């Protein structure tokens, strides 16, 4: 099977630090390579793959301000579409723009919808309801106006994540720093618990960070460690008492949660979006609705077995499980069962 995997170009594939969509695209591509498929990854020129790399964008626009996103996204997508007939199937991780080519090419397209940046993009998805196989990343993230082929949870490679059975005495926020992620709420939880909070991730809301987070950073109880690479990040995740995830939006998935679980670390999250699909309350973490409930959950963390966190992550959110699901979808779409 000749597979084209279309990744975003905001970051390298796989990303050096932040880049969840690029990370998932890489996991899919490399997993298909391991299964013996003929895979071409469309990504930035500095990307890495065991398949064939096809690139026209020299660097990620998230790292190089001289790269105009709109211009290079157009060139990037058209680079694939102009050679679409050389592939059996296209797996789109690039959001809605590639859909506008789907009626101009004969190659079927599977589109993983990683989330909706705005309701304003829904008309594009609606227009191509009949010509694409839409994959949701959680059941909770399905839009009522769209037709979905399947739900496939994100998967990661267990071999890349060390298991940490022994924890240190700190709480952790890990991921992008944005009001949606509730970093300010995590600070309040940590202060109520009297425990140190470490924060790591890319700052995506500068005013939010300046006004709601930075005033509390004292390098004792609250520390900001920056946007970390994988090795540093995994050690931080693995040794945390818990990953605090007091989100203020309906999160489509939450890759950091799976990463924490793979390291044997439980997660305390606000019960919104996909959280109940990922976290088994009382076994791999706790689902809460308020700051007081989160504080109580921190006290109950000793009942969580790190081995159970790892076990469930391996069984439900591994690269192998994700790739197997996508391969089945590819085969069904190519057999003409897309309805």
- The residue with tokens 């796989």 is 14
Residues 132 and 176 in one domain: no
Is 148 part of any domain? Answer: yes
Is 290 part of any domain? Answer: yes
Q: Which tokens is 207 given?
A: 């005013």
Residues 257 and 173 in one domain: yes
Residues 143 and 185 in one domain: no
Q: What pLDDT was estimated at residue 305?
A: 98
Tell me, rounded to whole angstroms, the distance of Cα 176 from its chain centroid. Answer: 11
Task: Give the domain range for residue 32.
Answer: 2-155+318-334
Q: Which tokens is 46 given?
A: 């500095």
Residues 100 and 176 in one domain: no
Q: What is the DSSP string of 129-162?
A: TTTSEEEESSGGG--TTS-EEEE----B-GGGS-
Running DSSP on this structure, what letter comes out for residue 221?
Answer: S
Q: What pLDDT was estimated at residue 171?
A: 98
Is 339 part of any domain? Answer: no
Residues 169 and 282 in one domain: yes
Q: Which tokens is 278 given?
A: 């990922």
Per the CB < 8 A criterion, the answer to whether 277 and 138 are in contact is yes
Residues 108 and 186 in one domain: no
Coil, strand, or helix at residue 84? helix
Integer Cα distance of 13 and 27 in angstroms? 9
Is 307 part of any domain? Answer: yes
Stated pTM of the model? 0.94
- The residue with tokens 């305390």 is 268
Residues 40 and 121 in one domain: yes
Residues 122 and 18 in one domain: yes
Tell me, rounded to whole angstroms, the distance of Cα 179 from its chain centroid. Answer: 18
Is 180 part of any domain? Answer: yes
> What is the CATH classification number for the domain harbouring 217?
3.40.50.2000
Which of these, 68, 69, 44, 234, lies nearest to 156 by C-alpha position? Answer: 234
Average pLDDT for consecutive 10-residue bins of the chain (339 residues)? 98 95 98 98 98 98 96 98 98 97 97 94 96 95 96 96 97 96 98 97 96 96 95 95 98 96 98 98 98 98 98 97 98 80
Residues 293 and 170 in one domain: yes
Which residues make Cβ contacts (< 8 Å) with residue 136, sequence separation at least 6? 113, 142, 148, 150, 151, 152
Integer Cα distance of 239 and 163 in angstroms? 9
Is 84 part of any domain? Answer: yes
Integer Cα distance of 72 and 60 in angstroms? 10
Count other C-beta atoms under 10 Å from residue 70's C-beta.
9
Q: What pLDDT was estimated at residue 117?
A: 87
* Domains contained in the chain, number: 2
Is 58 part of any domain? Answer: yes
Q: What pLDDT was estimated at residue 132?
A: 84
Q: What pLDDT was estimated at residue 337?
A: 58
Q: What pLDDT was estimated at residue 338?
A: 56
Residues 191 and 245 in one domain: yes
Residues 174 and 100 in one domain: no
Is 11 part of any domain? Answer: yes
Integer-rounded Cα Rg, in Å, for the chain is 20
Residues 83 and 201 in one domain: no
Alpha helices in the chain (DSSP H): 20-34, 69-81, 122-127, 183-193, 206-208, 230-239, 255-262, 275-278, 291-299, 306-316, 319-334
Which of these, 253, 298, 293, 294, lies nearest to 276 by C-alpha position? Answer: 253
């Amino acid at each position: 099977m000749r597979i084209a995997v279309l990744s975003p170009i905001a970051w390298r594939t796989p990303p050096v630090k932040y880049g969840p969509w690029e990370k998932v695209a890489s996991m899919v591509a490399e997993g298909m390579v391991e299964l013996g498929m003929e895979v071409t990854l469309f990504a930035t020129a500095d990307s890495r793959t065991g398949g064939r790399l096809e690139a026209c964008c020299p660097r990620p626009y998230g790292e190089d301000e001289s790269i105009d996103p709109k211009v290079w996204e157009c060139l990037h997508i058209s680079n694939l579409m102009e050679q679409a007939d050389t592939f059996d199937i296209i797996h789109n991780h690039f959001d809605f723009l590639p859909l506008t080519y789907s009626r101009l090419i004969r190659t079927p397209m599977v589109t993983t919808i990683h989330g909706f940046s705005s309701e304003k993009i829904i008309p594009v998805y609606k227009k191509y309801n009949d010509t694409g196989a839409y994959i949701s990343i959680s059941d909770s993230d399905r839009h009522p106006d769209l037709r979905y082929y399947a739900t496939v949870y994100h998967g990661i490679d267990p071999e890349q994540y060390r298991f940490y059975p022994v924890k240190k005495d700190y709480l952790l926020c890990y991921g992008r720093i944005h009001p949606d992620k509730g970093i300010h709420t995590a600070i309040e939880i940590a202060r109520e618990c009297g425990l140190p909070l470490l924060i790591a991730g890319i700052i995506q809301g500068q005013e939010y960070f300046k006004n709601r987070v930075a005033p509390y950073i004292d390098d004792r109880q609250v520390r900001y460690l920056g946007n970390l690479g994988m090795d540093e990040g995994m050690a931080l995740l693995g040794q945390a008492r818990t990953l605090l995830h007091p989100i203020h939006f309906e999160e489509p998935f939450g890759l950091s949660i799976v990463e924490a679980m793979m390291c044997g670390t439980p997660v305390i999250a606000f019960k919104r979006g996909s959280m109940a699909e990922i976290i088994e309350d009382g076994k791999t973490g706790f689902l809460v609705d308020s700051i007081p409930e989160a504080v109580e959950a921190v006290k109950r963390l000793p009942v969580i077995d790190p081995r159970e966190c790892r076990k469930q992550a391996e069984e439900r959110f591994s690269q192998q499980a994700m790739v197997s699901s996508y391969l089945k979808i590819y085969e069904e779409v190519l057999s003409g069962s897309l309805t």
